[in-house]
Amino acid sequence: MGTNAGTEDFWKPIGNGKWVGTDPSERFPVYTRGNAGEVYPEVFTPLSFSIAAVAGEEAMRTAILYSGLIRPEELENIPVTTSTGSGVFGGYACLNLSIQRVAAGRVPGGKPTDADVSFLGVGDPPPYVEQPGDKNLMAGLRGLRFVWKLLRDDGSELKATLRADQARVEKALASQTDPATATDAELRAESSTKLMALFTELFETHLKTSFVAGLLLSVLTGMCEKNLDDPNLAVRLLAGLGDVDSAAPSVALWSLGRTVAASPELTALFDDVPLSELAGRLDDEPAAAEFNTEFAGFIAEFGSRGPNEWDTAFDTWETKPELPLALVDRMRGAEASHDPSAQRDRLEAERHELEAETLAKLKWPVKKIFLSALTAARLYSQSRERTKTTVVRAIHGSRLQAKELDRRLVERARAGGVSAAAPGDLWFCVESELDRYIDDPASMAETIADRRALHAELNARQPPFFFDTAQPPLEEWERRDAARTTVTPGETLTGLPGCLGIARGRARVVTDPGDPRGLEPGDVLIAPLTDPSWTPLFVPAEAVVVDVGAVMSHAVIVSRELGIPCAVSVTDASRRIPDGALIEVNGTDGSVTVIELP
C-alpha cells in the first residue's frame, strides 16, 4: 500500500484554501463523525495531523486485518493517503462506517447495521448498500475462529502487552531532555520524529483492543437479545467494573473537592478568586499545603488528560491547571451521595447480583459460552481505556516539548519584527516545514496567517455527521451558531440508554469542559459530546444527556462506572434544551422529557 507519501500529498482543497486531510475510499465510501468525534472533537491542526497521518493509517490497516473479517487483498493498492478505517476530511476526523459495516456483516449471525448501533447510537445514516465482495465466506470463517479464540483466551497476553506498552512510554518520558535546557533540535525531535516512531505501535494496540471490545459487546448483546430478550442487558452487565482509566480522575478530583469543602480558607478562595488566578493564590495560601500536595500528585498521574488531548496543540490539565481546578470547583458542592467510590461499590454489588440472576436463566452450554463472552467483554472494555491512556501519555510528552519550542519561536519572531506571531503558530506548520520555520519563523508568517483563518472558518461550522463518497462544499456546512427550535413543555426527546436510572433536575448546557461554572449540584449536565476531560463533571450532576454517543462512547462507559443516569444520542439536545429547563432523564430507555421551561 506504500508508506512513502509526503506531507504535500495530504493537502486537500477546502473552500477557498487547502487543509491537510485524507482521500475518501471508493470501495468503502460512507464516513461518520460518530466515535471519531469523541477522540478528535475539534479541527485537526496541520502539525498534529502531519505527524500522525501515515503512522495512524498504517496502524489502522493492521488493526482492520487483525480479526480476519477484512482480507489483505481488499486493502491492496490503496494509497496511504486514502482513509480505510478513519480519516480527516475538512479538518475533522471521521470513522469509515462502510468498512465497519462490512466486518459486522461477516460476523456469523451478525448484520452490517450492527456497526451503526455500536458506533453511532441512533441517527439517520446513509442506508447500507451491499457492494460486490461484501459477503465473503472465508472472512466469515476466520472471524468465527477469531471470536472462539477470544472466548477461550485467559487475557494474560493482552495484560502483558498493556504493561509493556506502559513501561515503554514511561521509559521514553523519563529519557526526554528537560524542555527548559533542551536545544531547538532536541525539542523538534522529541515533539515530532520520536513520537511518530512510538505512536504507531501504541495506536495499533489501542485500535485492536477497541475493535475487540466492540466485537465482544456485539456478541454479548446478541446473546442477551436471543436468549433473554433484553439487548440492553449487556451494558448493565458491564457496569461498576472498577479499574477503568477514564473514570479514575473523577475519584481523585472528588477527594480534592472534599478537601476544599472541609476548609473555610480554601472555600473562600474558590468562591472569590477567578480560575485564571486560582493556582497562584493557592501556592501562596498556607492553609492550602495539603491541597497543593494532593493536587501535585493528581497532575503527576493525570496531567496528560484534557480537552482534545490527542492533538498536542491543545492544553491539558498539566499545562493549564485552571482546567482541573474548574472541575474541583464543581465537585466541592456535590452531595456526599455522589462519591464515585461509594457509587462504584454499589454498582459492583448490583452487577454481581444481576450476573447471578442472568446466569440462572441460562442452560448449559449457552451459560458457559455466555460467561466466557461476558468475562472477555469486561477485560477488553477496561483494556480499551487503558490503551487510550497509554497513547495519551506518550502524546503529552511530545506536547510539553512542542510547547516550549513554540514559545521560543514566537519570542524569536517577535524580536525579529513579526508582530503578528502568536502562541500556537508552530501547529500551523506541517512536519516537513518545521526546519524552515525553526530557522526563520518570519518566512512562514503569511502562510500561518492564511491557515489560521481557514482553521477559524472550519471551527465555525458543523461538519456533516455522515457523508457518502464526498463531503458537501464548506459553504453548505451549517454554522455552529445557527438557531434551533426550542423544546416545548411535555415534549420528549429520544436517544439511547447509557446508564439506567431516572433523575430530574435543571438543565445546564455546557459546551466547554474548561468553563463549567454554571453547573450546580442537582443540575442535569447536557453536552454536545464528551471525551475523558468531561467525565469528572458527571459526578456532581444528577444525570447526563449527550447529543452524540453510542454504547462504546465515553459518556456510557463512565456513567456506568459512576452510576449516573445517562441518555446518549439525544440529537441536538444541547441546542434545543435551554439552560434552566426542568427535565427528567430516563437512563433506562434513553428518553429526556421536558417538564417546564425557565
Asked whether residue 458 falls in the same domain as residue 538, the answer is no
For the cut 60, the answer to whether the pLDDT of residue 566 exceeds it is yes
Q: Are residues 500 and 461 in the same domain?
A: no
Q: 502, exposed or middle or buried, with CB in 10 Å at 0-12, 13-18, 19+?
A: middle
Q: Quick one: 512 and 476 in the same domain?
A: no
Beta bridge partners of 526: 509, 545
pLDDT tens per residue across span 116-138: 877 776 567 889 999 999 999 99
Between 201 and 448, residue with greater pLDDT: 448
CA 463 – CA 472 distance, rounded (Å): 9
In the listed set 341, 371, 399, which residue is the last one of a domain according to the structure?
341
336 occurs within a structural domain: yes
State whether 334 and 274 are in the same domain.
yes
* Range of the structural domain that residue 140 is part of: 1-152+440-480
pLDDT-based confidence at residue 554 (cuts at 50, 70, 90)? confident
Residue 548 maps to which CATH number? 3.50.30.10
Total number of domains constituting the chain: 3
User: Are 129 and 24 part of one and the same domain?
Assistant: yes
* Domain-embedded: residue 202: no
Cis peptide before 79 (omega within 30 of 0): no
Identify the pLDDT of residue 123. Answer: 61
Which position has the higher pLDDT, 236 or 313?
Answer: 313
The residue-averaged pLDDT of 406-415 equals 92
**Could you tell me if 457 and 558 lie in one domain?**
no
Please check whether residue 462 is in contact with residue 480, taking contact to mean a CB–CB distance below 8 angstroms. Answer: yes
On whether both 27 and 2 belong to a single domain, the answer is yes
- Confidence bin at 43 (pLDDT 50/70/90): very high
CB 577 within 8 A of CB 583: yes
Give the residue from 562, 542, 541, 556 showing the smallest Cα distance to 590: 556
- Give tens-digit pLDDT for 85-123: 889 999 999 999 999 999 989 987 788 888 887 777 656
Residue 180 lies in a domain: no
How confident is the model at residue 121, as a pLDDT? 62
Please check whether residue 131 lies inside any domain of the structure. Answer: yes
Predicted confidence (pLDDT) at residue 63 exceeds the cutoff of 60: yes
Which tops the pLDDT comparison, 291 or 547? 291
The answer to the question of residue 110 being in a domain is yes
Say if residue 32 is in the same domain as residue 136.
yes
546, 467: one domain:
no
- pTM, two decimal places: 0.91
Instruction: Choose between 548 and 20: higher pLDDT.
Output: 20
The per-residue pLDDT for range 477-532, each reduced to its tens digit, is 999 888 778 899 999 998 888 888 899 999 999 988 888 878 888 899 999 888 77
Q: Which amino acid is at 141?
A: L
2 with 92, same domain: the answer is: yes
264 domain residue, yes or no: yes
User: Degrees (nearest 5) of the Cα angle 262, 268, 270?
Assistant: 90
Residue 467, beta-bridge partner list:
31
Domain identity same for 470 and 545: no
Cell of 211: 475493535
Cis bond upstream, residue 24 (ω within 30): no
Q: State the sign of the Cα–Cα–Cα–Cα dihedral 444, 447, 450, 454.
A: negative
Confidence (pLDDT) at 1: 41
Same domain, 75 and 109: yes
